[in-house]
A and B are shown apart, each in its own frame.
Chain A
Amino acid sequence: MEPVEEVVKQHPRLELRGITKSFPGVKANSDVSFKVQPGEIHALLGENGAGKSTLVKQIYGILKPDAGDISWDGREVDVPSPHAARALGIGMVFQHFSLFEAMTVLENVALGMDDPGSDRAALAARIRLVSDSYGLPLDPAREVHTLSVGERQRIEIVRCLLQSPRLLVMDEPTSVLTPQEVNRLFETLRKLSAEGCSILYISHKLNEIKELCDHATILRGGKVVAECTPAEETARSMAQLMIGAEFRSVARREAVENTGPLRLELKTLSMAPEVAHGVPLKSINLALKAGEILGIAGVAGNGQGDLLAAIAGERRAVDAGAVMIDGKPVGKLGPAGRRKLGLCTVPEERNGHGAVPDMSLTDNAMLSGHKRMGFLKGGFLDTAKARSFAAEVIKRFDVRTPGTETTAGSLSGGNLQKFIVGREILQKPEILVVAQPTWGVDAAAAATIQQALVDLAATGSAILVISQDLDELLTLSDRIAVINAGSLSEAMPTATVSVEEIGLLMGGIHGTPEKGAA
């Protein structure tokens, strides 16, 4: 991956100087400067909350910098809107896709282009041509909600490619891909780079950056703290720069010898999807023992949400025996009933599901703990009890907040997640099920949460972790299973399983499914 050799000295394709951007209460970017050369694959590295997304939104014209300037091909430019960015030749592949589910691939591509022309057939032909030639085949007539996550990302990419980009910005592109899809993406990006297109690759995944990128700019707390050539660094040294403090990793679990009795069992659990085109759960079997951590890997959109809802009791099973807690059939029981039996959960979505953003932390403690922790007196709320519980959670899990009465919505992602996880852990559950425990959370908070899970398992609780982050699961779990299209694989011991194998299972058996390939 050598940068394209230029005979004549060129201007950098993109240069940022002194970019600063603030929001109420937080300085997202502070005096950020770096250069991207033509054909270079440049990494923007930083943990969650370092300011990468904000920076990139300014490059794409969604936000305006408070100070600083942007140069394109050596000339200073204003980027007042995404339209202007596209006119310059900047294409953006969003982390949370900018797609329209109920519409077709063709319509989605047309919407992302400024001048798709009025000839639909011609556009459809172009889509097929470009998507095939870059190894990302797409069928223009398919409706987006029928596509897998990996396929949806293709739309985002093809949409950019059709406009002959000279800089392609990719915001955390691999968090939703199987390992095989990641390789395919890298091939595409290398091809683009060889053709002279620059790539700005935003990620916090060090191994990928080492594999793919020519140069890296490292952000921490909104500032540029280092620049490096990934080939010359180790993952550890980059991590050090990224996090700043001594890189404290959670020790990989020793294989647990004596696990306790069977705590949670799923027996041929099947469930129709909740939303019209969701993924049904197909005959899921699972056995979770006390003291062990079982990880469920899988790309987003394969039924994880429904699985959690089924275990938590938010959705009732058809057959009461499909979910068993300590040998008791609880399939028809609701969340409150299951909590009483010792099952606590942490859902994927913090604000709106795991916590009520407009309510105080005290009330949020009341939310999940009112029955199990006895916060009720008759039919009335014992707010004082809930408050002291919340205060304890805050103290023990280092939640940065002025107090128990601040609203959940005003907490940062990492702090809120610490509160929610802490709230459940301090209820001393026999079984704890967590989904995406460290998604969008800064590294320090992530380490706290992961350590807390490990400690909880050591006290004898049974823990189930559903996560898209394979590294996290490999670190935490004793056994690992993979969910794909609503089916759950056998649980395999983490110590002996290979990443290859897991990747294959994540993508469906025998490699990535070619759903709807043109």
Chain B
Amino acid sequence: MTFDALLPMLLTVITAATPLLLASIGELVTEKSGVLNLGVEGMMLAGAVIGFATTVGTGSAFLGIVAAGIAGMVMAFAFGVLTLTLMANQVATGLALTIFGIGLSSLIGASYVGVPVEKLAKIEIPGLSAIPVLGPLLFDHDPLVYLSVAITVAVAWFMKRTRGGLILRAVGESDLSAHSIGYDVIKVRYMAVLFGGFTSGLAGAYLSLSYTPMWVEGMTAGRGWIALALVAFASWRPWRVFGGAYIFGGVTILQLYLQGAGGIGIPAQVMNMLPYLATIIVLTVISAGPWRGRLDAPACLGKPFRPAS
């Protein structure tokens, strides 16, 4: 297969990976602070529909993206209030967020079904995108793709090299110790949760504005859950999340191409199962595997913060 034939496939891997990357990197930050937010699917849908509606309404994709991020943050804020201030069970609240997000997005999106929108414009980087081979592959994408990589870089640097990242990790490791030293555990967690909401909203916007530029009910199709699995798969490390997102992007595209390639006699629906089955296999492998990434899980993950004072 020549590169020209390979290129479209690689490009679609990037487009499939980007929403997963955006959602996962935000959830990674959230989980590193010790909070398990299962509502990623709901936040993505909220972002998708709000982003879409705003773009259609204002004609500006930029405003749409911003609105999507904010929508994700609003949902995340609700989650934060329930789990951080009211100390509700994180698993149940995350599920509530998902169910609510699915319903709300269907409701808002009802009048936008079938409405056309322009696909997000690509940004060509002058000069670089003319490089043969690498040019079109790396430097000819829409802004959200670039943003996803930029956010990954920023999160990795933040976690390892800054005091803020140190404090975030400490809060996720031992909230009681951090509290004794005087750090505001709740505030740190709120910020982490909001960041997660922001990127999940962006991920949703990518789906409705670029991936399949239209609104369809439930268009995330479980990607939010796959993003959650990715964070664990990556042992809570930003660059591994990147790798994982691209591997999953690859799997998704693989099944599309196998279907399109005249089918191997396997019904389309079975091919559609691939990403979900892959997720299960991946989860099993990392949980059972010798490297037991468990030690990298933030020790306080999912536990509510209840200071004795």
Chain A positions within 8 Å of B, measured between CB atoms, are 57, 61-63, 81-83, 85-86, 94, 97-103, 107, 110-112, 116, 276
Contact = CB atoms under 8 A, between A and B. Distances in A.
Contact of A81 (B177, B178, B182, B299): B182
Contact of B174 (A82, A101, A110, A116): A101
Given A62-B309, A111-B170, A97 B295 contact: no
Contact of A276 (B178, B182, B292): B292
A141 to B, nearest CB: 15
B170 to A, nearest CB: 5
Given A61-B182, A100-B177, 20 more contacts: A82-B181, A82-B182, A85-B182, A86-B182, A97-B177, A98-B181, A99-B174, A99-B177, A100-B170, A101-B299, A102-B299, A103-B173, A110-B166, A111-B166, A111-B170, A111-B183, A112-B181, A116-B163, A276-B292, A276-B295
Interface string B165-207: 0110110011011111111000000000000000000000000
A210 B294 CA distance: 46
A107 B299 contact: no
B174 A100 contact: yes
Contacts of A107: 166, 170
B182 A83 contact: yes
30 contacts: A61-B182, A62-B179, A62-B180, A62-B182, A82-B181, A86-B182, A94-B180, A98-B174, A98-B178, A98-B180, A99-B174, A100-B173, A100-B174, A100-B178, A101-B174, A101-B299, A102-B173, A102-B295, A103-B170, A103-B173, A107-B166, A107-B170, A110-B166, A111-B166, A111-B167, A111-B178, A111-B181, A112-B181, A116-B163, A276-B294
A107 B170 CA distance: 9
A82 B177 CA distance: 12
Nearest to A99: B177
Contacts of A103: 169-170, 173
B237 to A, nearest CB: 13
A203 to B, nearest CB: 19
A62 B179 CA distance: 8
A99 B170 CA distance: 9
A100 B166 CA distance: 11
Contacts of B182: 61-62, 81-83, 85-86
Interface residues of B, number: 21
B124 to A, nearest CB: 38
A99 B176 CA distance: 9
Contact of B173 (A57, A81, A86, A101): A101
A82 B307 CA distance: 15
Contacts of B294: 276
Contact of A82 (B163, B166, B167, B180): B180
A103 B178 CA distance: 13
Nearest to B169: A103
A97 B170 CA distance: 14
Contacts of A62: 179-180, 182, 309
Chain A CB count within 10 A is highest, among B174, B180, B299, for B180
Q: Which 8 A-B pairs have the closest CB atoms?
A: A82-B182, A98-B177, A98-B180, A100-B173, A83-B182, A63-B309, A81-B182, A100-B170
Nearest to A57: B309
Interface centre among A82, A99, A100, A107 (most CB of B within 10 A): A100
A63 B183 CA distance: 14
A98 B176 CA distance: 7
Contacts of A276: 292, 294-295
A411 B1 CA distance: 73
A85 B299 CA distance: 28
Contacts of B176: 98
A12 B181 CA distance: 25
Interface in B7-31: none
Nearest to B309: A63
Contacts of B180: 62, 82, 94, 98
A94 B170 CA distance: 17
Contacts of B181: 82, 98, 111-112
Interface string B290-301: 001011100100
Nearest to A276: B295
A276 B182 CA distance: 29
B174 to A, nearest CB: 5
A100 B32 CA distance: 14
Contacts of B169: 100, 103
B296 to A, nearest CB: 8
Interface string B278-309: 00000000000000101110010000000001
Name the residue among B170, B174, B178 with the largest chain A CB count within 10 angstroms. Answer: B170
